[in-house]
């Protein structure tokens, strides 16, 4: 019997698709807003907890995300200490992706860096951004004190 991904991700498989599944809306929003303000680029997302301990069905995963414009890719790549042979692949993807349908995403966590070109979203980045604007109360943490 195979254990479900949501029970203990550390047993097998990759955590990255589960993270994308749960955080697609803010990631798409960031990709679109970054493109509007800076042109082509990629979203860099750093996960701040061990992914093997995450119960993906109920745990909010702390992360930070930022948009890195195309002009800053080389600096970002060096600052993150990523393999130089992958940089041309990323630069080509950033030049050729369609920001109205796709996003370039680099996930950093407790495993090797995961680079993905998310193509043909059911809810494309511009719509993610629109929904984030209309649903902002769902994404705002407030104190009841």
Where do the structural domains in the chain lie, given as residue ranges?
A: 9-129
Q: What are phi and psi of 63, to 5 degrees?
A: -155, 160
Q: What are phi and psi of 85, to 5 degrees?
A: -70, -15
State how far the Cα of 105 lies from the Cα of 118, in Å rounded to an integer: 7
pTM, 2 dp: 0.83
Beta strand ranges found along the chain (DSSP E) = 41-47, 63-69, 103-108, 114-118
pLDDT tens readout for residues 33-63: 999 999 999 999 999 988 888 888 888 899 9
53's CB contacts (< 8 A; 6+ apart) are 10
What is the pLDDT at residue 57? 81
To the nearest whole number, what is the mean pLDDT of the chain? 85
What is the pLDDT at residue 105? 96
What is the pLDDT at residue 96? 92
pLDDT tens readout for residues 71-106: 999 999 888 888 888 889 889 999 999 999 999 999
Q: Map tokens 């009841």 to a residue.
A: 144
Residue 25 has pLDDT above 80, yes or no: yes
Per-residue pLDDT averaged across 113-141, rounded?
A: 83
């Amino acid at each position: 019997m195979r254990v479900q991904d949501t029970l203990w991700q550390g047993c097998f498989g990759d955590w990255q698709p589960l993270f994308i599944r749960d955080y697609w809306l803010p990631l798409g929003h960031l990709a679109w807003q970054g493109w509007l303000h800076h042109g082509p680029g990629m979203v860099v997302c750093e996960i701040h907890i061990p992914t093997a301990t995450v119960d993906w069905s109920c745990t909010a995963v702390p992360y930070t995300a930022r948009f890195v414009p195309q002009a800053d890719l080389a600096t970002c790549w060096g600052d993150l200490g990523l393999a130089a042979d992958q940089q041309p692949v990323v630069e080509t993807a950033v030049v050729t992706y369609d920001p109205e349908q796709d996003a370039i995403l680099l996930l950093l966590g407790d495993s090797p860096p995961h680079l993905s070109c998310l193509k043909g979203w059911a809810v494309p980045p511009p719509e993610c951004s629109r929904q984030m604007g209309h649903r902002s109360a769902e994404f705002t943490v407030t104190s009841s004190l």
